[in-house]
């Protein structure tokens, strides 16, 4: 009996803390539903009395969000494509061998993972401009994001491959399969869940990326939603209900995907980040 | 030729190809820019010489000029404050939450998962939300602080030089709690439960158990989490862009944002590269500690 009371107290405390933690999110959604004058009311309303649903459609059209979101999708998909095509094999080999070269490779990957984007953008920008890549700004951003995300992806997927028993591949080799055949037919299908979750994480990061896009994409029609939000905030910072509506439209799909994949994401993150 | 191809399909060549391709890509896009960054910090780079490969070398002139600028030391100090305050806040709150969720009450894992939503939010969205919460006249944070009697007048978080850095730190702590909590939870769950049971039988109270079992057993996870926290805090850019833009008057500016400003606002690419080189050295030191502290797991 004493035990259940303690458990109930812990649950209550956890609920309170979770609520406090999630308040900024709640505040974003609640602000979108307030009218232009209600957002400046004092005291502020914590529950919408007169919800203004039409703001979502209005912001979507007036800010031309379809184009921004499309650009974000193009950039994120491109980055995920490069990262998965190049990264999966690398993660696989780094998981299968244990020697000095693998250690050196892993060390290199881990060190390249930590370079801050806002500090790397200067040499990348100058280098890209010299080889002419800035004429294709979205491609340039895709490549830069892929390079930034790949180490993280390799570390996560490597942890997945470590859990695929090596014996299964050896059995396939004994049965006359080739080395590449064993990889494509045995190891890859068994690791697909981990690869999918890691790919989603890269996608989410790329979908929210800002500093590369802000620095390399000058033409408004090619900019992603993050840059669109930035340019919306800068000049007229009093339309907070519209800005919050933009933010809500931008991130709600990500939130939905996160809730769907929550289990896999949490276990993928924890196995990768400390291993 | 046939031999080489069959090696790629069925042999060592296959493995080497799988590693060589991505590592070449990574080296070309992270390693080369890294070296190029050092090179640029020793050159004279402006808008006119941006497109050429051969630029005049100026030695350490960029460095000496940088440290002669009056804003350099305050910005470096801001960076140190930003990192230290963020880490302390994120770590203490994250550790407290991890300890709480490790007691396994009903619904614990589900609620813990909710904390990770900040992980998938675009940085600029987080910045936008906090800009609005921190807003001086109509921000909800000021309202809550006023109502609870903690402050008398409104704090202008984003435009008061005394509070601008603190505003970004608060947002960054909020953002960083989740990864601290989840990684420390992993470390906590790895401690064998019978250690606690034995200590309890010996009459150790909760506080003694924490000091003698939890903390020593968590030493390597704590080291890894703090090192990773420093790395991630030094990567934070979006919050500065969204909340204060480093202002007012550089009061909330930090090195990673200043480097970008120097290059892309003032088009002083050499100075931008110079400050980048300095900061990347710090990041590398933290990364080295991180990689070292997780090395036994890497090999496992």
- The closest alpha carbon to B237, from A226, A274, A82, A219, belongs to A226
pLDDT tens per residue, range A32-86 = 998 878 888 878 888 887 788 888 998 999 988 999 999 999 999 999 999 999 9
Q: How far is B105 from chain A (nearest CA, A)?
A: 5
pLDDT tens per residue, range A158-214 = 888 888 888 888 888 888 788 888 888 888 888 888 899 899 989 999 999 999 999
Residue A14 has pLDDT above 60, yes or no: yes
Query: Which residues in chain B have their CB less than 8 angstroms from residue A225's CB?
Result: 122
Question: Which is more confidently placed, B190 or B97?
Answer: B97
Percent of chain A residues past pLDDT 70, beyond the cut: 95
Per-residue confidence (pLDDT) for residue B296, from 0 to 100: 55
Residue B299 has pLDDT above 50, yes or no: no
Portion 200-219 of A in contact with B at CB < 8 A: 204, 207-211, 214-215
Q: Are the C-beta atoms of B272 and B42 separated by less than 8 Å?
A: no
Query: Which residues in chain A have their CB less than 8 angstroms from residue B42's CB?
Result: none
Per-residue confidence (pLDDT) for residue A2, from 0 to 100: 55
Q: A22 and chain B: CB distance < 8 Å anywhere?
A: yes
Q: Phi and psi of B50, rounded to 5°?
A: -60, -40
Most confident of A113-122, A179-188, B196-205: A113-122
Q: A244 and chain B: CB distance < 8 Å anywhere?
A: yes
Residue of chain B with shortest Cα separation from A248: B125
Distance spanning both ends of chain A, measured CA to CA: 40
Give the HSE-up count for residue B191: Cα atoms under 13 Å, Cβ half-sphere: 23
- The closest alpha carbon to B251, from B240, B264, B238, belongs to B240
Band of residue B190 on the pLDDT scale cut at 50, 70, 90? confident
Q: Are the C-beta atoms of B268 and B46 separated by less than 8 Å?
A: yes
Residue of B14, B17, B125 to mutate, testing the A interface (most A Cβ within 10 Å of its Cβ): B125
Q: Phi and psi of B139, rounded to 5°?
A: -70, 145
Kindly determine whether residue B116 and residue A258, on different chains, have CB atoms separated by under 8 Å: yes
Residue of A22, A38, A83, A115 to mutate, testing the B interface (most B Cβ within 10 Å of its Cβ): A115
Per-residue confidence (pLDDT) for residue A275, from 0 to 100: 45
Per-residue confidence (pLDDT) for residue A9, from 0 to 100: 87
Kindly determine whether residue A123 and residue B40, on different chains, have CB atoms separated by under 8 Å: yes
Compute the mean pLDDT over every residue in chain B, rounded to the nearest whole number: 87
Query: Which residues in chain A have their CB less than 8 angstroms from residue B298's CB?
Result: 103, 106, 110, 275
- Residues pairing with B185 in the sheet: none
Percent of chain B residues past pLDDT 70, beyond the cut: 94
- Between CA A241 and CA A206 the distance in angstroms is 26
ipTM associated with this complex:
0.90
Residue B300 has pLDDT above 50, yes or no: no
Q: How far is B227 from chain A (nearest CA, A)?
A: 11
- The lowest-confidence range among A7-16, A264-273, B63-72 is A264-273
Instruction: For B104-137, give one letter per residue: b (16+ CB within 10 A) or e.
Output: ebeebeebbbbbbbbbbbbbbbbbbbbbbbbbbe
**Cβ atoms < 10 Å from Cβ of A270:** 17
Query: Which residues in chain B have their CB less than 8 angstroms from residue A269's CB?
Result: 116, 119, 179, 182
Residue B298 has pLDDT above 60, yes or no: no
Residue B1 has pLDDT above 60, yes or no: no
Per-residue confidence (pLDDT) for residue A272, from 0 to 100: 57
Q: How far is B196 from chain A (nearest CA, A)?
A: 17
State how far the alpha carbon of B294 is from the alpha carbons of A107, A147, A268, B300, in Å: 11, 23, 17, 10
Compute the mean pLDDT over every residue in chain A, rounded to the nearest whole number: 87
Kindly determine whether residue A31 and residue B132, on different chains, have CB atoms separated by under 8 Å: yes
């Amino acid at each position: 009996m004493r035990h259940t009371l303690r458990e109930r107290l812990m649950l209550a405390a956890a609920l309170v803390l979770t609520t406090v933690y999630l308040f900024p999110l709640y505040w974003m959604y609640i602000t979108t539903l307030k009218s232009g004058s209600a957002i400046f009311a004092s005291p502020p309303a914590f529950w919408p009395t007169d919800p203004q649903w039409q703001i979502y459609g209005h912001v979507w059209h007036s800010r031309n969000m379809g184009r921004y979101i499309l650009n974000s999708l193009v950039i994120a998909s491109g980055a995920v494509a490069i990262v998965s095509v190049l990264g999966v094999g690398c993660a696989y080999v780094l998981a299968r061998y244990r020697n000095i070269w693998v250690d050196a490779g892993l060390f290199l990957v881990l060190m390249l993972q930590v370079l801050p984007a806002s500090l790397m953008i200067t040499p990348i920008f100058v280098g890209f401009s010299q080889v002419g890549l800035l004429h294709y700004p979205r491609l340039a951003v895709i490549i830069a994001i892929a390079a930034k995300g790949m180490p993280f992806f390799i570390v996560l997927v490597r942890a997945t491959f470590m859990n695929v028993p090596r014996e299964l591949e050896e059995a396939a080799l004994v049965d006359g399969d080739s080395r590449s055949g064993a990889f494509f037919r045995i190891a890859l299908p068994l690791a697909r869940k981990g690869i999918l979750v890691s790919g989603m994480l890269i996608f989410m990061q790329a979908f929210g990326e800002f500093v590369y896009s802000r620095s390399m994409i000058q033409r408004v029609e090619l900019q992603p939603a993050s840059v669109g939000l930035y340019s919306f905030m800068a000049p007229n910072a009093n339309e907070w209900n519209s800005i919050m509506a933009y933010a809500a439209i931008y991130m709600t799909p990500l939130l939905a995907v996160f809730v769907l994949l929550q289990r896999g994401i949490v276990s993928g993150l924890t196995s990768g980040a400390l291993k | 030729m046939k031999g080489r191809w069959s090696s790629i399909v069925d042999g060592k060549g296959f493995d080497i190809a799988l590693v060589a391709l991505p590592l070449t890509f990574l080296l070309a896009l992270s390693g080369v820019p890294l070296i190029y960054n050092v090179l640029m910090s020793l050159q004279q780079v402006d808008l006119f010489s941006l497109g050429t490969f051969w630029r005049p070398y100026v030695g350490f002139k960029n460095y000496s000029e940088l440290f002669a600028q009056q804003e350099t030391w305050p910005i470096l100090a801001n960076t140190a404050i930003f990192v230290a305050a963020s880490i302390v806040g994120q770590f203490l709150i994250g550790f407290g939450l991890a300890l709480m969720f490790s007691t396994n009450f009903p619904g614990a894992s589900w609620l813990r998962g909710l904390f990770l939503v900040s992980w998938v939010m675009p940085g600029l969205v987080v910045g936008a939300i906090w800009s609005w919460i921190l807003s001086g006249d109509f921000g909800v944070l000021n309202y809550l602080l006023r109502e609870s009697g903690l402050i008398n007048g409104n704090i202008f978080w984003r435009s008061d030089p005394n509070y601008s850095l603190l505003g970004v730190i608060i947002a960054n702590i909020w953002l960083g709690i989740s990864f601290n909590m989840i990684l420390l939870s992993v470390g906590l769950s790895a401690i064998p439960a019978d250690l606690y049971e034995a200590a309890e039988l010996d009459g150790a109270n909760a506080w003694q158990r924490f000091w003698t079992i939890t903390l020593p057993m968590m030493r390597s996870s704590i080291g890894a989490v703090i090192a990773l926290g420093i790395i991630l805090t030094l990567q934070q850019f979006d919050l500065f862009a969204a909340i204060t833009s480093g202002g007012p008057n550089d009061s909330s500016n930090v090195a990673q944002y200043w480097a970008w400003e120097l290059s892309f606002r003032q088009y002083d690419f050499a100075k931008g590269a110079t400050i980048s080189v300095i900061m990347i050295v710090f990041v590398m030191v933290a990364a080295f500690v991180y990689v070292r502290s997780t090395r036994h797991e890497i090999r496992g």
